[in-house]
Chains A and B, each alone.
Chain A
C-alpha cells in the first residue's frame, strides 16, 4: 500500500517537473480566471495573451489554471529537458 502511494507520488512529481504550461493566445480573452486561481499569484494571463509558455521559476505546474480556463487556452506540455539524450548517429 505504502509502496503504491510512494510510486504515485513519484509519478506525480515527475509529471510536475517535466511539464510546463503553454498557451494558445487566440483563445484568450484576458478574463483573469487563470491569475485568480494561481496559488502563487503568477501572471498567467500576461503570458497567455502573448502566447508565451509560463516560464516562471515558481510555477508548480499544479494545473489549476489549465483546469479553470473557460476557453481551453492553456495546456500542460511535457518538457524534453529530462528525456534521455538521443544516441549518437540517430535522430
Chain B
C-alpha cells in the first residue's frame, strides 16, 4: 500500500527510510495487527475489575464482570470519545473566552478587538443589549456569556441554541439532548459511563448526541471569538506543501490548533527579519503552518502551509525547519525525538501540552508579544546550527485560495445579488447547477494512503456538480494537490458547478472561477459551514435535515472527528466516515448509528472505506434530499 498520494511526502519518506528516521508509518506497522477487541470497541477498562472483553464470536464471555453487554460497552466507549473531542474543541474555545475577557479588562494589551462588527453581531445574536456600550464592555459581556456556557445552567448552551434552526431546537428538546453546559455535558458523559451507571445503549448514545451538541457550541464559540480577536477571514492567496520552506530563511513552523499565540507570532515575526538576516538568513523569517494552527494563520495572514496531520514529522525531516512552535492537539509526541536528530527546536507553549525533548516557553496573554519574540529568537539561534548537508526540501508547492469564512462566502454572493445574497446559491441549487453541498472535514489517517480518499471523493462529487467545502487537515489535503484553485474548477467541476463558480468569481473580480473547494478554516471552524446551511434553511423555511447537504470525514483519526461527525448527524446531515469506527462489536449500536438515528435526527452515519462507493452513497443521499424538496 502507498503511504501517501502526495509527492512531497513520498520524497521525504524515501529520505527518512534511507536515514533510518522512524515515522508514523513505521510505528503503525509495528502496531499491526492491532487488537481486534479494541477495533470492535469490545474492551472495557472503566473499572479495576477489568479489562473485560466480550467475545464477538459468542463462544467466550458474553458479558463484562459487571454484566455489561457488548452493546453497553461499545456505546460507553463511543460516547467517551465524543466527550474527549468536545473537551478539546471547547478547551480551545474557553481559552479564547478567557483571552477576550482579559482583553476587555485591559489585561492583555496585545489582544485588541480586531473585528468590532463581528463582536456586535455576536452580542446581538446572544440577545445582549449593547446600545451605547463601549466596545470593551461589549467584549466583557460576550466573554462572560461565553464562560457561563461551560458550567451547568438552567438555560441551554447559548452557542448551541443560537446557531441552529428552530426545527432543530424542537427536535433536540423532544429528544432531551439540549446541553445546558459544555463542561457539564462532558462531565455527565464521564459520570454516566462510570462503573454501574448507564447501561442502556440507546440512552448512552443520546447522551453522546447531547455532548456532541456541546461540542458544536464549543466549535462555534471558538470560531466566533477568534474572529473577534484576530479578524474574520477574507479570501487570501497563498501556497501549500513542503516546498514553502525556504533554504535562505529562518523557517518557523506553527503547529497545533490555537490562533492565540500563533497570530501574535504572525503579527511580530517580520520585526525580527533584520536579526534573521544578521544571522545569515538572507530571506529573513519564513513562517509556515502545520495542521489547524496553520489553517488559522493561513486564513488571517496568508501564511503558507507546510503540511498537515500524518506528514507533520516530514517537515522536521527536511532539515530546514529551525523551530516548530506547538500549542495543543494533534501534535505527535514523536516530534520531540525527531527534533533531536536535527537542529530543530521544538517549542511547547501550553501548560497542558508538554513534550519530552522540547523547550517549554510558557505562554501568558499579558506578555504574549514578548513570548512571540522570544520564540522567534530561538528559531534564529537554531538556524545558526542548521547543517546544510542535512537540508532536503522537496520542490512541491501548490498555490491556493483560502479564507472562506461564512462572512466571506456571503460577501462573495453579495457581489452577485447585493439585496439577497443567498438567492444566487439557492437559485443554483434549485436549477440543479449545484446538485448539493458536501463538507469535507477531518484528518489524514495512517491506515489510508494520505489524501487518497479526499481526492477520489472530491473529484467524483465535483463532476456531479456538488459544491465542496473543506476544513481542517482535509482542506490541507486539497491544498497540497492544487484543488483550492480556479484551475481545479476548470479541470474537475461539472458544467453547472463550473458556471456558478465562474459567475461568482467574475462578480468578485477574480480572473477565473472560485476554487473547486472552498477552504473554510480549521477543524474548530466546522460550525461555519453549519451556519451557512442554517441561513439557507431558514430562508427556505425548511429544517436542516431536508437540505441536499452532506458531510464526509474520509480519513478521520481523532476523537474530535468523532464528535464533529456526531454533531453533523445531529444537524441532520448524512455523514460519511471513511474509517471503520470502533463500534462494530455491537450490531445494535452500528444499526442505530447508520439507520435508526435517521428517524430521530434526519442525519445518519455512512461508514464505507471505499472512496468510490462512498462518493456514490453521498450522491444518492443528496439526490434523495433533492427529491424530498421536489427538485
Do these two chains really belong together in a complex?
no
